[in-house]
Amino acid sequence: MGRIGQRYAELMRGLDGDFLYTSREPKEQVEVMLGARKVELEQLLRESDVVSLHLPATPQTTHLISADALKLMKPTAILINTGRGPVVDSDALASALETGEIGGAGLDVYEGEPDVPQSLLDAPNTALTPHIGSATTRARDDMARLVARNVVAVLEGEPALTPVARP
């Protein structure tokens, strides 16, 4: 329930459902504002009709949504991933969709981008987009401003505001 997850929850508030989230730390403001409830990932997967992922790819989050995680979900549940591709095990997801283990998936990111696994292209009940979730005027303007602030900081001898670590 970081910045993007919070914005997603705000946008979904109009659908009048219960909001469950998982996070390293409680988000009291979100809990008060949206009536959200922090739970462990396993409970979130078991109880949610829609699971929307908004987290970075790290060694700890790689295949967070695995075959075992997908087995916890309702057979009518929808998995949305607009975070990072490696968070979801693509083969396990394609299998879960093929067998009806979950109801559907909406993906804007994929393991091994820019390639999209054929198994996902062939999977039923999927909506696949080409990593364009941030393609709004507001988001792109904000990105441009952040780049400019980074350039100015570095030219002034300060560290970059949002440095990228090299592997």
Catalytic residues: 84, 113, 131
104 within 8 A of 72, measured Cβ to Cβ: no
Give the separation between CA 38 and CA 62, rounded to whole angstroms: 22
Determine whether 165 is exposed, middle or buried from the number of CB atoms within 10 Å of its CB (0-12, 13-18, 19+). exposed
Q: Phi, psi (5° rounding) for residue 127?
A: -125, 120
From the list 17, 21, 23, 22, the residue with the least C-alpha distance to 49 is 17
Residue 110's Cα: distance from chain center in Å? Answer: 11
Give the separation between CA 151 and CA 39, rounded to whole angstroms: 40
